Chain A
Amino acid sequence: MKDLRVEWRSREALSAMCVFGILVVFLFNFSFNTGREESLRMLPGLLWIAFAFAGVLGFNRSFAAERENGCIEALTLAPVDAGAIFAGKLLANLVFLGIAEAVVVFACALWYNFSFIPVLVPFCAIVLLGTLGYAALGTIFGAVAANTRMREVMLPVLQFPVAFWILVLASDASADALRGAPAVTIRGGIERVGGVSLVFTVASFLLFEYVLEE
């Protein structure tokens, strides 16, 4: 909760995440220099890469800020459960990444003349579930990486191999949804993303207390 308020006052990380996400889409667009058809085929993967990079940027901030002014010690001393701290951090990360994602999706809709409206419900479900697992891993690895030298490097090294399947399954499912595949296929995709995300969210939740303790 506190994170949301603090971050809202500065909006530092949030704007960085949004700008970064848009830059990723922009760079991809020109480095591949594809026509509209090609771009639409690549859109789901592109979106998830943008989400992934924007996310890593935000997760780094979430514990670095605590570290800088020694707040993390206070947090661990406070009579709250590690689970509560995890939930708070996860919620903040989810909201920020969600806002950044909305901005990126809006930019893509604009640039590629692609309307997300007809596929909004399944697409949102996939993004929400995928982001949940991704942000859960980002929260715990952000806390782990805050204990290391070169944490900006350490976080992606930890995050990407573990979150690999969330990203792959989510962009697969998004591709199905955006293509307007049969409902059964889309539902299967959503279930897979949800299942994997849930496994990682629960695991991160359970392991989080070992990251905090002294």
Chain B
Amino acid sequence: MKSKFPMSLHLAISLAWMVIALYLIFLYAPEEMTMGEVQRIFYIHFSLAMTALFAYFFVFLGSIGYLWKRARGADDFAYACAEVGFVYCCGVLVTGPLWAKPVWGIWWTWDARLTSTFILWLLYIAYLMLRAYVSSPGRVESLAAVVGTLGFITSIVDYMAIRWWRTQHPQPVIGGGTDSGLEPSMWVTTFVTWGALLCLFFYLVRLRTAIARTRRAVSIARQQMAA
């Protein structure tokens, strides 16, 4: 597929956007009052987390698309989103503790959001491991799509259940989030960073999809040569 939007341009925009985001994070956004410099990791952390969440939704869309239309492209898309989303999710789990330790005094707590992010991470692992281990050729796509769909249902259940669970076990409120009352300049920084990481995400997904397509073309060509 020849897209109107060249890959190299996409990469260039992603990188330039990242540079702008970094400028905003470190030089433009004001220092947070209580948390100090550490808070600047929030911009990356939040953007990674939101993208990782959306990525699983894309996995679901690709999976449903495959089951419905049997389109190879949908499966490639789901696989690519899962791989890149997993990397982003790992990023969330790395930047989170780095921020939590100085601010909360602990690396990790089984708080609602942390738990659901961890489950998301496990769901990514389940999906990717399945794709790596399926032994019957030609079955990978539909099996992965089934797991991708059930995984997405899990993340919805997750969203509801975490509220029931937490209302049953009230926990002491730990630390103050920055969610309430962000400075306008902080909002700008947040959204520019998120945009940059989304742009990079789609670049990586396109790259990964292109690789999958090439690989399939090669294997078909090889079969034809053998025949």
Complex interface bits, A140-151 against B, C-beta within 8 A gives 1, otherwise 0: 110010011110
Q: Which of A53-61, A111-119, A160-168 contacts B (4 or more CB under 8 A)?
A: A160-168
Pick the contact of A162 from B67, B123, B143 — CB < 8 Å? B123
Question: Would you call A199 and B126 a contact (CB within 8 A)?
Answer: no
Question: Residue A211 at the B interface, CB < 8 A?
Answer: yes
Question: Would you call A165 and B158 a contact (CB within 8 A)?
Answer: yes
Q: Which of A24-32, A91-99, A100-108, A200-208 contacts B (4 or more CB under 8 A)?
A: A200-208
C-alpha spacing A210/B149, complex, angstroms: 12
C-alpha spacing A37/B37, complex, angstroms: 47
Question: Would you call A162 and B154 a contact (CB within 8 A)?
Answer: yes
Question: Would you call B154 and A154 a contact (CB within 8 A)?
Answer: no
Question: Residue B20 at the A interface, CB < 8 A?
Answer: no
Residues of A within 8 A of B136 (CB): 147
Pick the contact of A148 from B67, B134, B146, B151 — CB < 8 Å? B134
Question: Would you call B146 and A207 a contact (CB within 8 A)?
Answer: yes
Question: Residue B90 at the A interface, CB < 8 A?
Answer: no
Pick the contact of B143 from A137, A150, A211 — CB < 8 Å? A211
- B142 to chain A: closest residue by CB: A210
Pick the contact of B125 from A157, A168, A199, A204 — CB < 8 Å? A157
- A162 to chain B: closest residue by CB: B154
User: Separation in Å of the A188 CB from the closest CB of chain B?
Assistant: 8
Question: Residue B19 at the A interface, CB < 8 A?
Answer: no
Query: For chains A and B in complex, what number of residue pairs have CB atoms within 8 angstroms?
Result: 85
Question: Would you call B129 and A154 a contact (CB within 8 A)?
Answer: yes
- B122 to chain A: closest residue by CB: A161
Question: Would you call B143 and A199 a contact (CB within 8 A)?
Answer: no
C-alpha spacing A169/B158, complex, angstroms: 11
C-alpha spacing A59/B123, complex, angstroms: 20
Question: Residue B5 at the A interface, CB < 8 A?
Answer: no
Residues of A within 8 A of B123 (CB): 161-162
Question: Residue A66 at the B interface, CB < 8 A?
Answer: no
- A residues contacting the other copy or chain, number (CB 8 A): 30
Residues of A within 8 A of B4 (CB): none
Question: Would you call B133 and A196 a contact (CB within 8 A)?
Answer: no
Residues of A within 8 A of B165 (CB): 168-169, 172
- B118 to chain A: closest residue by CB: A161
C-alpha spacing A214/B137, complex, angstroms: 10
Question: Residue B168 at the A interface, CB < 8 A?
Answer: yes
Question: Would you call A200 and B161 a contact (CB within 8 A)?
Answer: no
- A202 to chain B: closest residue by CB: B153
Complex interface bits, B85-126 against A, C-beta within 8 A gives 1, otherwise 0: 000000000000000000000000000000000010011011
Question: Would you call A162 and B150 a contact (CB within 8 A)?
Answer: yes
User: Separation in Å of the A186 CB from the closest CB of chain B?
Assistant: 12
Residues of A within 8 A of B11 (CB): none
User: Separation in Å of the B119 CB from the closest CB of chain A?
Assistant: 6
C-alpha spacing A210/B143, complex, angstroms: 7
List residues of A (119-140) whose CB comes within 8 Å of B's CBs: 137, 140
Q: What are some 11 contacts across the A-B interface (CB < 8 A)?
A: A147-B135, A157-B130, A158-B126, A161-B154, A164-B119, A164-B122, A196-B161, A203-B150, A204-B150, A207-B150, A210-B67
